[in-house]
């Protein structure tokens, strides 16, 4: 039975790696009998500056996420919205990996089944050659109000899924069977008190303003930031 009830989801992130990067925006739509019945669109404060590259790609700025939800609050709101639904997404394992990382950090279960429109398109469609969401939307004339914004990409993915399952569901039903999402990761522990002290001392010594949310800083992030600052500015030296 091809799912007609599901939650379609898309995330925007600061980068490509769940262990090093963070969620910026979550867009999701609740689908019942193939129709949108509810939507969710939330901005997330990642606790770090957004690179110019990401801002140019998404249009999301530091000012926009300043009052956004914390990563923990955003995860819990997203998990509540999804409930027990099957997920649908384009390269869904990528989005899921970021949510799973936050779930592990929060010490809560987050096991899901999903249908991946990227895998379905690769299996069923000869054209276009590239199967990115952008290329498929252009090829199928699926409109997106804005590219690389979570809610609009989620709604476009819903339209793509509906096209795929209606067109290829009878000939390739197996690609629309929900599969378990598997992503293994370890919990990110908060930065230690001594790490924060050393970072603040280094920043003060070199007169650097650190634009980070200290409460969200993890131990690995603190280590990478310390190494970056020392490499760029040097260590603290005593008179």
**Domain residue limits at 199:** 193-233
Instruction: Report residue 1's pLDDT band, with 50, 70 and 90 as the boundaries.
Output: confident
Select the more confidently predicted residue: 196 or 74.
74
Report yes or no on 239 lying in a domain. no
**Same domain for 161 and 211?**
no
Task: Examine residue 209 and state whether it is found in any structural domain, yes or no.
Answer: yes
Same domain, 97 and 52: yes
Residues 170 and 203 occupy one common structural domain? no
128 located within any domain = yes
Angle between helices 150-168 and 133-140 (to 10 degrees): 60
73 and 27 fall within a common domain? yes
pLDDT digits (tens, 9 = 90+) for 145-188: 888 899 999 999 999 999 999 999 999 999 999 999 999 998 88
143 and 212 together in one domain: no
**Would you call 203 helix, strand, or coil by DSSP?**
helix
Give first-to-last CA distance, the chain, whole Å.
74
What value does the mean pLDDT take over residues 107-119? 97
- Residue range 208-226: average pLDDT? 83
| Total tally of structural domains belonging to the chain | 2
pLDDT at 214: 84
Residues 114 and 228 both lie in one domain = no
pLDDT at res. 188:
82
Q: Assign 14 a pLDDT band (cuts: 50, 70, 90).
A: very high
> Do the beta carbons of residue 68 and residue 43 sit within 8 Å?
yes
The CATH number of whichever domain residue 146 belongs to comes to 3.30.420.10
Domain check: are 165 and 224 in the same one? no
- Look at residue 198 and tell me if it is in a domain: yes
Are 216 and 132 found together in one domain?
Answer: no
Clarify whether residues 176 and 197 are in a common domain: no
Q: Which of 180, 206, 225 is the last residue of a domain?
A: 180
Is the domain of 174 the same as that of 209?
no
Q: Report the alpha-carbon distance of residue 196 to residue 226 in Å, rounded.
A: 10
Q: Round to whole Å and give the CA distance between 113 and 9.
A: 13
Q: Which residues contact 222 (CB under 8 A, 6 or more apart)?
A: 191, 192, 195, 196, 199
84 and 152 both lie in a single domain: yes
For residue range 59-109, list pLDDT tens digits in order.
999 999 999 999 999 999 999 999 999 999 999 999 999 999 999 999 999
Residue 41 has pLDDT above 90, yes or no: yes
State yes or no: pLDDT of 209 exceeds 90: no
Of the pLDDT bands very low, low, confident and very high (cuts 50, 70, 90), residue 212 is confident
């Amino acid at each position: 039975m091809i799912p007609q009830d599901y939650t379609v989801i898309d995330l925007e992130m600061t980068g490509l790696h769940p262990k090093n990067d963070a969620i910026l925006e979550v867009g999701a739509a609740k689908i019942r009998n193939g129709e949108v019945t509810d939507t969710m669109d939330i901005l997330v404060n990642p606790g770090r500056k957004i690179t110019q590259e990401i801002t140019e790609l998404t249009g999301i700025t530091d000012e926009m996420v300043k009052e956004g939800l914390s990563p923990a609050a955003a995860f819990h709101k997203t998990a509540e919205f999804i409930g027990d639904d099957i997920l649908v997404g384009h390269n869904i394992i990528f989005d899921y990996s970021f949510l799973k990382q936050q779930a592990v950090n929060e010490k809560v279960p987050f096991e899901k089944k999903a249908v991946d429109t990227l895998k379905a398109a690769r299996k069923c469609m000869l054209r276009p050659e590239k199967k990115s969401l952008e290329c498929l939307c252009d090829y199928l004339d699926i409109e997106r109000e804005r590219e690389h914004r979570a809610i609009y990409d989620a709604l476009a993915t819903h339209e793509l899924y509906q096209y795929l399952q209606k067109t290829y569901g009878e000939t390739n039903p197996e690609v629309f069977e929900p599969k378990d999402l598997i992503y293994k990761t370890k919990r990110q522990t908060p930065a230690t008190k001594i790490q924060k002290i050393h970072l603040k001392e280094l920043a003060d010594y070199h007169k650097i303003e650190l634009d980070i949310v200290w409460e969200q800083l993890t131990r690995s992030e603190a280590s990478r930031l310390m190494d970056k600052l020392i490499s760029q500015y040097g260590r603290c030296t005593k008179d």
